[in-house]
Amino acid sequence: MPAPNLQQSIQEVPLKMVGGNKFGRFDKISVEQTWNMIVSDDALMPYAGWAVAAVAGGSNEGRGIYVSTVENFLLAVIGNQVYRFTSDPFNPDGPLIPNSPAAVGQLDTSTGDVFMAENNAKQILITDGIYAYIYDYLNDVFYSSKAGSAFLLTFPFTASGYCSFQDGRFIVAINGTQQWVLSAPNNGLTWSPAASSVGEIQSKPGFIQAALPMPGGGNNLLVFGSNVAESWQDVGAALFPYQRNSTFNIDYGCLNPSSIAELENFVVWLAANEQSGPVIMYTQGSGVKSISTDGINFKLSELTNPSNCEGFLFKQDGHLIYQITFPDDNLSYAYDFNTELFFTITDEELDYHPARQVVFFNNDYYFVSLNGGNVYRFGTQYTTASYEDEVEKIIPRIRITPPLRMPSQRYFIGKSVGFTIENGLQNNKTTIVITPGHDGTDLTTETPETLITEGGDIITTEFDEGDSFTYVNYSSVVDLSISRDGGESFGSSSRLNMNETGKRKSRFIWQRLGIVNDVTFQFRFSGYTRFTAFDGIAEVYQ
């Protein structure tokens, strides 16, 4: 009887290359995750890279960044210094001028978050959790509420926190109290403790965290406490201009005002209340929604210090993205509102992402860094990370697919796995001629010290030319490693080189994967160019 045709029993199983973080609470459920890539047009594409745009504060941390749309300059707080950055006067819509920031003021603190807002009188308010400062850029004067300052800002409150601007007034949350306070109309130099200028959280006991205008919400103001968020509206009343919405509030407060971000008609923050741990939520003015998955919520519940976090919203090529970083736990996530997917975001060492706050200035995004005093340009025009030394560093991009299991739980043989990938981009390669055998090198001890004879001659190996051969090293590669134990561990990797420039054959395939009954694939994309990958196929038979 002839042997059965094995080819007929081969099954093609979809390989989900295009996806985000859908990992489960435990690894056995799924370890599906994507590092430093997002989904766009049903393809896996790189997340934004960065390059240094201007050098300012050395090793001091970047604390805040703001763009004045009135005067067209960028303001950044690095360490305790406030710097003003501008573009070339002959190209006012161009990028920042590198290496030429102007110091315009100094804070009394050197670390921690700062918040900034601007009014229509060409004043920028800066708060650092303790003091309040005004940069009057019309008259080039910097005011501080610290006693004894050369230009004293009379601010009759302590511990100034999150600040914003609405309807002509600055609004400041006073840390450690229930109060949020208003400046005089279009005058950040005048503040009053009178009842006509002070509002309070009312729905629940707890401390104020932030008060910010609801984007796209007209005169509506969202006031965050530690365990509740209230909706207020500027009705222009004589006793106090704002009135609380008595029929609506959000039963979640905010763990840290630095996690709050607003763009378009979204407000996103890291939420909590007296009965719930941290969860990422957003509102569009009416109602609230959690965007955390089961796996993400479990990760958040395991954080050692979730209250130390930084969050911001920005748009990457039309995708509205919220990025949040937990420095103490070495973790950063990005959530794409377009695809409703989470992704893990890192630096070149697979540590947390360095961006603290992001702004849009002259058609480019810029951020200040948690890890240093420079300002960086941020976007998909960069596929690597570049710092002050201007050396491009590869950002690791990783995709771990969902587990492949048979409903019968039976073992199967993995014949191949493959997917379509963009190929033939600029891909540098190095040709190395290797000569095997002895090469005449010096002999040394373990110390190492060079071995010499009694006469003082250096002892070397015997030189032997042998037959040489050529080794080609490509800059961009994709490595596959396989987990056969439910995502607990991955084996050694098998590498495929990206094609050299102009060779656009796009199929990547690995053969002879062995026998398994629960398999997870991990693909690592490494190189200086972009990567664009599509869904693929795994061939298996039993």
pLDDT of residue 176: 94
The Cα 276–Cα 411 span in angstroms is: 42
Q: Can you list the domains of the chain with their CATH numbers? A: 6-45+401-428+475-541 (2.60.120), 48-109+340-393 (no CATH), 431-471 (no CATH)
Q: Tokens 């104020």 correspond to what residue?
A: 208
The Cα 182–Cα 163 span in angstroms is: 10
Q: Tokens 């039963």 correspond to what residue?
A: 251
- CA 121 vs CA 128, 374, 540: distances in Å: 21, 29, 69
Provide the whole-model pTM: 0.88
Could you tell me which residues are beta bridge partners of residue 115?
127
The Cα 162–Cα 221 span in angstroms is: 13
pLDDT of residue 191: 96
The Cα 421–Cα 41 span in angstroms is: 14
The residues, any chain, with a CB within 8 Å of residue 522's CB and separated by 6 or more, are 398, 399, 400, 401, 480, 481, 482, 483, 490
pLDDT of residue 247: 86
- CA 542 vs CA 99, 199, 416, 518: distances in Å: 64, 70, 13, 13
**Positive/negative CA dihedral, 312, 316, 319, 324:** negative
Rounded-to-10 torsion of CA 71, 77, 81, 83: -30
Q: Is 197 helix (H, G, I), strand (E, B) or coil?
A: helix
The residues, any chain, with a CB within 8 Å of residue 390's CB and separated by 6 or more, are 51, 52
Nearest to 533 by CA among 426, 425, 429, 423: 423
pLDDT means per 10 residues in the chain (542 residues)?
Answer: 57 94 89 96 95 84 93 93 83 66 93 96 96 96 95 93 96 96 96 94 92 91 94 92 90 94 94 89 88 89 93 94 97 96 96 96 92 92 88 93 89 92 81 59 63 60 57 81 91 89 85 91 93 94 84
Identity of the amino acid at 480: L
Question: For residue 348, how many other CB atoms are within 10 A of its CB?
Answer: 17
DSSP collapsed to 3 states, 117-170: EECCCCEEEEECCCCEEEEECCCCEEEECCCCCCCECCCCCCCEEEEEEECCEE
- CA 357 vs CA 29, 51, 64, 314: distances in Å: 34, 15, 6, 10
Given a contact cutoff of 8 angstroms between Cβ atoms, the answer to whether 343 and 334 are in contact is yes
Nearest to 425 by CA among 533, 501, 526, 527: 501
What's the first-to-final CA gap in the chain, in angstroms? Answer: 20
Q: Tokens 């062995």 correspond to what residue?
A: 514
The Cα 329–Cα 325 span in angstroms is: 9
DSSP 105: E
Q: Where are the beta strands (DSSP E) in 295-387?
A: 310-316, 319-326, 331-336, 341-344, 355-361, 364-369, 372-379, 384-386
DSSP collapsed to 3 states, 276-313: EEEEEEEECCCCEEECCCHHHHHHHHCCCCCCCCEEEE
Would you report the helix, strand and coil content of the chain in percent, each value rounded to 5? 5, 50, 45
pLDDT of residue 1: 47
The kind and range of the H/E element at 330 are none
